[in-house]
């Protein structure tokens, strides 16, 4: 990640700059995300690793359709 940022930190920065952007975040440790509730309230779609291809496809479709609606 750029500047040793975590995915969550990078997500916050991007969403702070681009208010309408939709984000799909994947994590191998979703239970360890301290700000999970806050992240989800920001509108981030979270996909826990290890996921199947169909789960990834569904998550991408959701994020894209949410983006198109706004």
**Per-block average pLDDT, block size 10, for the chain (70 residues)?**
81 89 82 73 86 95 81
pLDDT value of residue 34: 67
The pTM of the full predicted model, rounded to 2 decimals, is: 0.73
Domain boundaries defined on the chain: 2-69
The Cα–Cα gap between 26 and 48 comes to 6
The answer to whether the beta carbons of residues 22 and 63 sit under 8 Å apart is: yes
DSSP three-state, residue 1: coil
pLDDT value of residue 30: 65
């Amino acid at each position: 990640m750029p500047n040793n940022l975590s995915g969550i930190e990078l997500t916050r920065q991007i969403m702070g700059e681009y208010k309408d952007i939709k984000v799909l975040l994947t994590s191998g440790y979703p239970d360890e995300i301290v700000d999970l509730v806050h992240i989800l309230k920001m509108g981030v779609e979270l996909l826990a690793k290890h996921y199947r291809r169909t789960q990834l496809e569904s998550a991408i479709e959701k994020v894209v359709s949410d983006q198109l609606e706004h």
